[in-house]
Amino acid sequence: MLILGGTAEARALAAALANRPDMSVVSSLAGRVSNPRLPVGEVRIGGFGGAAGLAGWLTERGIEVLVDATHPYAARIRLSAAEAAVTTGLPHLRLERPGWHPQPGDEWHRVPDLASAVAAVPALGRRVLLTTGRQSLPAFWGLTDRWFLARVVDAPDEPVPEHVQLLRSRGPYQLADERELLRAHRIDLLVTKDSGGSLTEAKLVAARERGIPVLIIDRPVSPPLPAIVTTVPAAVRWVATQPG
């Protein structure tokens, strides 16, 4: 089985299947993060060269089951996985954690994409905590009359302008720390993606407590898939139903 990973759910699934004597599990990471958290078992790092390259790799390795447990915003590999599964005829599962939902007291502003988020910032805040990932940072750099605290795992390749301060950090994040971060930097707007899960949810609670608006970029539209689950136990049960 191949697990397209890089998420906590992918690591948990690999761990849950690691001791099964009837199964050999390979986890694949994109390689975009330096020093990634590695799952148990065999790991490959790097891209496949699109859907055709993935289909060829699946065939060469004799893979019998494909599980896509990549990040909710990893749209390209998700589409490649769907196309490769059709090409090879492999059973294909999408494991994706649910998104977040607003709670009483939240002021959420949802936008469909990165460009819409950039356009919405000026009306919502002046001191912005930006947690949308390093690849999205340059899109906000033109807003020179706003100040950004950009929290990233790895620094971007491009030089960072003066109105952007980098904070290199990796979750999980504790609520007390998120409260202090917002207070210390006088944050009045949080910009994030609807990543879901508990590892980075504390920032939403801290923003709610301080009455800070949250600008949320919606998830990309997924291709039609035959099987989707939202929890690791459900993925384990699905795997158990597959022939082989």
pLDDT of residue 157: 85
- Residues 196 and 185: their CA atoms lie apart, in Å, by 24
pLDDT of residue 10: 94
State residue 97's pLDDT score: 92
For residue 154, give both structure tokens: 């790895």
pLDDT recorded at residue 127: 98
pLDDT per residue as tens digits for the range 147-160: 999 999 988 888 89
φ/ψ of residue 116, rounded to 5? -65, -35
- Structural tokens at position 41: 């078992």
Predicted confidence at residue 21, as pLDDT, reads 84
* pLDDT for the residue numbered 98: 94
Cα angle: 147, vertex 153, 154; to 5 degrees: 90
Integer Cα distance of 191 and 198 in angstroms: 17
How many Å apart are CA 129 and CA 162, to the nearest integer? 15
Residue 134 φ then ψ, to 5°: -65, -30
CA nearest to 5, candidates 132, 113, 90, 93: 93
Question: Residues of the chain whose pLDDT is less than 70?
Answer: 244
Closest CA to 229 of 241, 238, 220: 238
**pTM across the whole model:** 0.88
Which domains are delineated in the chain?
2-98+220-240 (3.40.50.720), 108-217 (3.40.50.720)
Cα(173)–Cα(60) distance, rounded to whole angstroms?
A: 40
Q: What is the pLDDT of residue 244?
A: 63
